[in-house]
Amino acid sequence: MQTRGLRQTSQRKFLVDEIFSHHEHFDADELMERLPRKGEKNYVSSATVYRTLREFVDAGLLKSFQLEGRTVYEHDYGYPQHDHLYCTVCRELFEFQSEALTNLRDEVAAEQGFRISGHRMIIHGVCRECSKNRRKKRKQDLV
């Protein structure tokens, strides 16, 4: 898999396991909260977490994008192209697939003579649940 010049260290093995045992979107901070603390077994420093996330993106295991200042990661390896709906109330990301969107993108790019490397589409709004229940708390505020 990463016979790409990369060494198979215990930290990387642990991080791969941790990252691919869940399928949600996450940022560096959320990931580190799930990991062992300093002094505990399998502790990984934040520098290594950041370095590793970046490597995984380069290696095609993860994709990343910016959302409200943070860098958000999601699985990429063996996972189909998709885009996102972002609920500004519960701050959850929902996925959708649309071939029409990709076609439209290709058309636009062709018109402008653009050589596409990718795209990022995020629809902002309020999800069904949060529309129903205005009292629903934000993820963050629950903590």
First to last CA, the chain: 37
Give the closest residue to 83 by CA, choosing from 61, 60, 67, 69. 67
Q: Choosing among its own copies, DNA, none, which partner's interface includes residue 133 (Cβ < 5 to 8 Å by kind)?
A: none
- Residues in contact with its own copies, total (CB under 8 A)? 35
| Residues in 19-48 that interact with its own copies by CB under 8 A | none
Interhelix angle 10-20/46-58, nearest 10 degrees: 70
- Rounded CA-CA distance 14/42 in Å is 7
Exposure of 80 in the CB half-sphere (CA atoms within 13 A): 7
Q: Does 110 bind its own copies (CB under 8 A)?
A: no
Cβ closer to its own copies: 23 or 120?
A: 120
Cα Rg of the chain (Å, integer): 18
Q: Does 108 bind its own copies (CB under 8 A)?
A: yes
Q: Which helix (H) or strand (E) holds 85?
A: strand 83-87
Cβ neighbours of 141 (radius 10 Å): 8
Cβ closer to its own copies: 8 or 123?
A: 123
Q: Choosing among its own copies, DNA, none, which partner's interface includes residue 10 (Cβ < 5 to 8 Å by kind)?
A: DNA
Q: Does 113 bind its own copies (CB under 8 A)?
A: yes
Q: Does 104 bind its own copies (CB under 8 A)?
A: yes
Closest distance between DNA and the C-beta of residue 19, in Å? 13
Closest distance between its own copies and the C-beta of residue 81, in Å? 13
Per CB under 8 A, residues contacting its own copies are 66-69, 85, 87-88, 94, 96, 98, 100-101, 104-105, 108-109, 111-128, 131
